[in-house]
């Protein structure tokens, strides 16, 4: 049984980005506009983080997140130090947080437990950025929302169908999509749905923004009329032992040409990557003209630059 998720009553931590709700709607919209500006003009922001140093902590592997954070920081004129390994094994997280706050200006952390990011934020006097936890992947969702807006020219009213595991990526898409007035549908096997507390929070946000949230076990139904079909790996980092079992359970949730054909004819295919071709998505779909996965990957760089500018300037 999964542990209860504590969604904070006041979902803001001044200066940190622990999860999607740490940005208000207006901050989120401002960040999407700023992403557009940094994408258009790298030179204009080339000295924006001059003299600032960031600590990057990685408990899990990464290509996109690590590269795009390092590049974002350097292209903005700042610098960073990177450490791989478990956070909090050698000394308490609260001590790590207070050490890093004496030397650096921001902590970017990819951890297993969301509580690790929360505790770093609680104890450090500098902003903490969630670079993926078991519960959320908010930097991914920022880039994805920007990519969707870039592709379709709008976000409000778009239907995003997420098919597969109700995981960290699904949680962040639900919260961000709801905040931006999108219609989000998630189709997963019965025991692998998104956390009920997060679905509930997304439903409440949707009521305010005119969006909607639907959770189902029917992938075919979920993708009807979708503007975008999104999937992610069936076994996330840390779930390697379950991979074989999950391959059987999730087989009906593969995004293949037949499933994608149920969405709108101009539907975009999305994936945060890395992808397991032949499992959650076929090679044909990933390589098709409908796939915008490399636009998503590119926009990680631009969205994270905008995030760092928002938190550190």
Q: Which residues in this chain contact ligand NVA in the complex, by CB under 6 A?
A: 132, 167-169, 232-233, 236-237, 272
User: Considering 114, 140, 290, 304, which one is annotated as catalytic?
Assistant: 140
Cα–Cα distance for residue pair 211/203, rounded to 1 Å: 8
CB of 65 to ligand NVA, least distance (A): 7
**271 is annotated as an active-site residue:** no
**110 is annotated as an active-site residue:** yes
CB of 66 to ligand CP, least distance (A): 6
Nearest CB to ligand NVA, comparing residues 28 and 143: 143
Among 34, 38, 56, 62, binds ligand CP (CB under 6 A): 62
**302 is annotated as an active-site residue:** no
Nearest CB to ligand CP, comparing residues 101 and 163: 163
Among 18, 19, 64, 302, binds ligand CP (CB under 6 A): 64
Query: Does residue 303 belong to the site contacting ligand CP (CB under 6 A)?
Result: no
Cα–Cα distance for residue pair 64/66, rounded to 1 Å: 6
E-strand ranges in the chain read: 53-58, 79-84, 106-110, 128-130, 159-163, 183-187, 212-216, 228-231, 268-271
Among 124, 140, 172, 227, binds ligand CP (CB under 6 A): 140
Which strands sit side by side in the sheet containing 128-130, from one edge to the other? 79-84, 53-58, 106-110, 128-130
Nearest CB to ligand NVA, comparing residues 63 and 258: 63
Q: Where are the alpha helices (DSSP H) in 41-108?
A: 64-75, 93-103
Give 281's strand partners. 255, 277
Q: Where are the alpha helices (DSSP H) in 180-292?
A: 196-209, 219-222, 243-250, 257-260, 283-286
Which positions are catalytic?
110, 137, 140, 232, 272, 300
């Amino acid at each position: 049984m999964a542990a209860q998720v504590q969604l904070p009553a006041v979902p803001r931590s001044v200066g940190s980005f622990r999860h999607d709700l740490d940005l208000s709607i207006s901050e989120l919209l401002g960040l999407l506009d700023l992403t557009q500006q940094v994408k258009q003009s790298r030179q204009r922001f080339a000295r924006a983080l001059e003299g600032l140093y960031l600590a990057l902590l990685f408990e899990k592997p990464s290509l996109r997140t690590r590269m795009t954070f390092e590049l974002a920081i350097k292209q903005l004129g700042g610098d960073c130090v990177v450490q791989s390994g478990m956070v909090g094994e050698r000394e308490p997280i609260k001590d790590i947080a207070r050490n890093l706050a004496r030397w650096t200006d921001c902590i970017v952390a990819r951890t297993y437990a969301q509580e690790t990011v929360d505790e770093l934020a609680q104890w450090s006097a500098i902003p903490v950025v969630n670079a993926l936890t078991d519960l959320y992947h908010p930097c991914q969702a920022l880039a994805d929302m920007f990519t969707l807006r870039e592709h379709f020219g709008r976000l409000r009213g778009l239907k995003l169908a997420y098919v597969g595991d109700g995981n960290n990526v699904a949680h962040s898409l639900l919260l961000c999509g709801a905040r931006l007035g999108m219609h989000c549908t998630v189709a997963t096997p019965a025991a692998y749905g998104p956390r009920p507390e997060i679905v509930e929070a997304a439903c409440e946000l949707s009521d305010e923004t005119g969006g909607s949230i639907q959770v189902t076990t029917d992938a075919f139904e979920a993708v009807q009329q979708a503007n975008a079909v999104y999937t992610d790996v069936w076994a996330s980092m840390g779930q390697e032992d379950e991979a074989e079992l999950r391959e059987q359970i999730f087989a009906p949730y593969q995004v293949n040409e037949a499933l994608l054909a149920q969405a709108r004819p101009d539907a975009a295919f999305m994936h945060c990557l890395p992808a397991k071709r032949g499992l959650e998505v076929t090679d044909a779909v990933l390589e098709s003209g409908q796939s915008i996965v490399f636009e998503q990957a590119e926009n990680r760089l631009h969205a994270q630059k905008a995030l760092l500018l928002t938190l550190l300037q």
